[in-house]
Structure 1
Amino acid sequence: MRQAVRMPPGVEHVGEVTPWYRQLYAQVLVAVVFGIVVGWRWPEVGRAMEPVGTTFLAAMKMLIGPIVFLTVVGGIAGVADLRTVGKTGVRALAYFQAGTLAALLTGLVAVNVFRVGEGVHADPSELAASETAQRYVDGGESQRWWEFLAGLVPESFFGAFVDGNILQVIFLAVLFGIALKAVGPVGEPLVDGVRRLTEVVFKVLALVLRAAPLGAFGAMAYAIGQFGLGTLASLGSLIALFYATSAVFIVVILGGVLALYVRLNIFRLLRYLREELLLVLGTSSSEPALPGLMRKLTLLGADRGVIGLVVPTGYSFNLDGAAIYLSLATVYIAQATDTPLSLTDQLGLLAVMLLTSKGAAGVAGAGFIALAATLSTLGTVPAAGIMLVFGIDKFMSECRALVNFTGNAVAALVIARATAPLDLGRARAVLHERAS
């Protein structure tokens, strides 16, 4: 007789059947479909929906800073030995760099095999940049790979929260958490207060998330109404290659790492995170799904302290989707403008992208700004070629965000497995229950 799986405390009711219309992922999916229809059939109405999407994103971003700060502080203050924090950080950064390299190589291989830019024969001198695109190019030129290090320290304690700079928030949280741990018993009431306040902030988050379908509808309706479905067809080959490459990266690279090292199934993990993935799809941003990702990974049995440190840091340093986009778009522009790139040139390109992909961390429109920074740094690929992909960038941002989110989920589980005992029995029970 098959023995029944005993669910861990707190997840006994994971498998209870809930009507589809009450599940967040279903509501967001329906809202996304309605948004596409409205933006396609009534473009003016779709463009008018922009405030709906941006207001929801603003509400989510309002909570990201406090959640990151509280979870990182609570995670550091809760470890038995501060050396564990250092080991976790070093392992995480090493993994992030390896993941970025793998993503860049995947993109380079794909665009060299399929060569979707050949035959365009675009003249860089005739590519006029729009005012909006020029702002991105200017931002890319002013953003150097080392500036994210120089900008780690905020001008004031609350300045990081006001500006929404997650890197600065993490920096403050690490210092605060170490200090709380160092003062010993004196800091214990504050540690308890941090945990209680974290619960309150997550409850506020739950209330805001009720508006997720409305926010997803507004964002998608605006995107389709503003840029139109015709933009998809004009550069469909590049978009298709990007989505296909991203899918291969998730299934083969990330799925392989998850299966071989963590011993978990990537498809069950994706199903487990379906609510967050649809939220990312609808809003074209992985930030609104950050709190839900942290909560669900902890529910899988990962150490709360490791998750609290690795996931927020990964949102700035582990941008797998942006890395794939960066390598694809750069070589595509070179092919489209008939700019020859030898193997040596592409290896040099790889080295530059390893830096520029980090240099845009924490910046709005990071993927596109990193592309502008890469082209301006290289000098070999015409920077004006950025206009070739500007029109479709919005339709590629959803995929970038999805890959970034999935990459951070896998990264957190890998680091949790390497740093602290990961309860695989609990993780498999939760994933199996959610998949059934």
Structure 2
Amino acid sequence: MKLLNNLTFRVLIAITLGILTGYFFPDTATKLKPLGDLFINLIKMVIAPIIFLTIVLGISNMGDLKKVGRVGGKALLYFEVVTTFALIIGLVVANLIRPGEGVQTGAVQGGDVSQYAEKGKGMDWAEFFLHIVPSNAVKAFAEGDILQVLVFSILFGVGLTRMGDKGQPLIQTFERLSRVFFNILNVVMVLAPLGAFGGMAFTIGKYGLATLLPLAKLMGTVYTTMILFIFVVLNLILRYYRVSLWAVLKFIKEELLIVLGTSSSESALPQVMDKLETLGCSRSVVGLVIPAGYSFNLDGTTIYLVMATVFLAQVFGVDLTLGQELTIIGILMVTSKGAAGVTGSGFIVLASTLTAVQVIPVEGLALLLGVDRFMSEARSITNIIGNTVATIFIANNEGEFDRRKYNRVLGKEEEEALTNYKY
């Protein structure tokens, strides 16, 4: 009975049942998509208010506006360095394993990619970056545009901080509102197994495990690369501050399973923010880094985009020169930053990259349609782990990480931890 009350266990059971339902009853499974969509919509309902309140309270509690700018600057620098590493790793592995060699385009069931190709050709990235600043704050909240909410929240927090003591009554009201929204989130999380079941059943039922066989090498290469990135690069980043990656992953295992079931990193965004505060990161750092990272620190998406580009080049026998590969890295350093803000983002960003390179047929995207959903889980999980690590790193770097709280939450003896940890 105690096991059934464990959310991790219930989500695991739901994912297993979803896979079995999708495999044995595909027609029924494809009709279960609304279950996953319902859960994601419930999460989206509280994302914008939670981000707004977390950022505003974090900045107002920080008090020092120079510190706010410093934390934001460090976060953006960190994002650029780490995503560049992700691009290079993806490029190197794709060239070493060469997953596109021997793939026959006729052996893979394609699909209509014209919509992605047209949107990719017409993408105006200058317009995207202008879009970061909301012309209507209410619209930003209504549409759940996280980046726009982030910008408005920072400005609101700065304005509230400049009020000094006069702003304290409003801050206290926001504190109470924050608790209300996190209580709503706790109620919504009861439906997490249902969302994971619906999302997984739909994926298996619609696309089927058979679609994986022709592109199994690509999937294996992408998954292997992301595992290497997480357990080598991100692990080394945390080890610098003597934080255990395994312990952190165990702490957020429920959120990772929800992301696995729903194929959406949004489904775990508020919970991860709450857990990072519980783990010892200050509210101000969490509020700035996580929402910004959602658009600027998409490690999993970055790896997938560069590997998919090289894969398609190999399929069509295009021998990319070093200069062309460096060009791809340069393009993706910009285009991948907008992936979270565009509907159908993966294919649209990939189409815009292929259009810019001009040596790989954009029609090749049809090869990826059948397996993209299966790789979406890996992208989303890597993205959310990457942003979790980024937050812990920035919090430590800023001296905004409570080591005693971290040790207490992860069940370590405080005396032993303080003996082994050098401040």
Q: What TM-score, normalized to structure 1?
A: 0.91
Partner of 1:130: 111
Pair 1:310 & 2:293 matched: no
For the structure 1 residues 290 and 359, does the alpha-carbon distance in structure 2 shift closer, same or farther, using more than 3 Å as the test?
A: closer
Distance 1:277 1:433, change over 3 A: farther
Amino acid at match of 2:85: A
Cα distance in structure 2, aligned partners of 1:428 and 1:259: 15
Q: Is the 8 A contact 2:36 2:194 kept in 1?
A: yes
Amino acid at match of 1:375: L
Correspondence 1:60 to 2:43: yes
Residues 421, 176 of structure 1: alpha-carbon distance in 2 compared, 3 angstrom cutoff:
closer
1-side partners of 2:202 and 2:367: how far apart? Answer: 22
Distance (Å, rounded) in 2 between the aligned partners of 1:162 and 1:139? 24
Tell me how far 1:66 sits from its aligned partner: 1.0
Kindly provide the amino acid, as one letter, of the partner of residue 295 in structure 2.
S
Q: Which digits, 9 at most, give the CA deviation of each residue in 1:207-261, with x for residues without a partner?
A: 111001001101111111111110112211100111111001000000011112x
Taking a change above 3 Å as real, the CA distance of residues 234 and 121 of structure 1, as seen in their structure-2 partners, is closer
Q: Residues 321 and 401 of structure 1 are in contact (CA less than 8 Å); yes or no, is this contact kept in structure 2?
A: yes
Is 1:272 matched up with 2:255?
A: no
Deviation of the 1:51 alpha carbon: 1.0
Compute the displacement of 1:128 (Å): 9.9
DSSP-derived class of the 2:125 partner: coil
Counterpart residue type for residue 173 of structure 1 = S
Tell whether the 8 Å contact from 2:36 to 2:262 is kept in structure 1 after alignment.
Answer: yes
* 1:43 aligns with one of 7, 26, 35: 26
Structure 1 stretch displaced more, 263-272 or 140-149: 140-149
Task: Report the counterpart of residue 332 of structure 1 in structure 2.
Answer: 311
Aligned residue runs from structure 1 range 187-206, under 5 A: 187-206=167-186
Mapped partners of 2:297, 2:257: distance in 1: 20
Contact kept, 8 Å, 2:260 with 2:381, in 1: the verdict is yes
Secondary structure of residue in 1 paired with 2:340: coil
1:225 to 202, 205, 220: 205
Aligned twin of 1:165: 145
| Alignment of structure 1 residues 22-421 onto 2, 5 Å | 22-120=5-103, 122=105, 130-131=111-112, 133-260=113-240, 262-421=241-400
Deviates more, 1:379-388 or 1:25-34: 379-388
Any idea what SS the aligned residue of 2:213 has? helix
- C-alpha displacement at 1:320, in angstroms? 0.2
Deviation at 1:135, TM superposition (A): 2.5
> Match of 1:392, SS?
helix
Amino acid across the alignment from 1:156? N
SS at match of 1:352: helix
- Paired residues in the alignment total 413
CA distance in 1, matches of 2:153, 2:311: 40
Note the alpha carbon deviations across 1:85-107, whole angstroms, 9 max, x for none: 00000000000111110111111
Q: CA deviation at 1:186?
A: 2.1
Shift of 1:127: 9.8
**SS, match of residue 311 in structure 1:** helix
Distance 1:71 1:21 in 2: 32
Secondary structure of the structure 1 residue equivalent to 2:410: helix
Q: Once the two structures are superposed, what CA deviation does each residue of 1:34-86 show, in whole Å capped at 9, x if it has no partner? A: 00100100001101101111111111111111111111111111112111100
Tell me how far 1:163 sits from its aligned partner: 1.5
SS in structure 2 opposite 1:360?
Answer: helix
420-429 or 189-198, larger mean C-alpha shift: 420-429
User: Is the contact between residue 110 and residue 369 of structure 2 (CA under 8 Å) also seen in structure 1?
Assistant: no
**8 Å Cα contact 1:120/1:337 also seen in 2:** no
CA distance in 2, matches of 1:433, 1:364: 43
Contact 1:46–1:222 (Cα < 8 Å) also in 2: yes
How far apart, in 2, do the equivalents of 1:364 and 1:74 lie? 30
Give the counterpart letter for 2:368 in structure 1.
V
Closer/same/farther in 2, CA of residues 425 and 183 from structure 1, 3 Å limit: closer
8 Å CA contact retained: 1:143, 1:360 = no
- Kept in 2: contact 1:121–1:338 (CA 8 A): no
Q: Which residue of 2 aligns with 1:10?
A: none
Counterpart-to-counterpart distance in 1, 2:410 and 2:348: 37
Q: Distance in 2 between matches of 1:137 and 1:431?
A: 47
Backbone CA RMSD of aligned residues: 1.8
The code of the aligned residue for 1:423 comes to: D
Q: Which amino acid aligns with 1:49?
A: L
User: 1:105, 1:340 → 2: CA distance?
Assistant: 18
1:430 is matched with which residue: 409, 419, 423? Answer: 409
Q: Distance in 1 between matches of 2:2 and 2:13?
A: 14
Please tell me whether the aligned partners of residues 37 and 221 of structure 1 are also in contact (alpha carbons under 8 angstroms). Answer: yes
> How big is the shift at 1:368?
2.6
Equivalent residues of 1:368, 1:393 under 8 A apart: no
Contact 1:145 1:358 in 2 (8 A): no
Unaligned runs of 5+ in 1: 1-17
Per-residue deviation, 1:281? 0.5
Letter in 2 for 1:292: Q
Residue 34 of structure 1 aligns with an amino acid whose one-letter code is L
The residue matched to 2:234 in structure 1 has which SS?
helix
Conservation of the 8 A alpha-carbon contact between 2:109 and 2:370: no
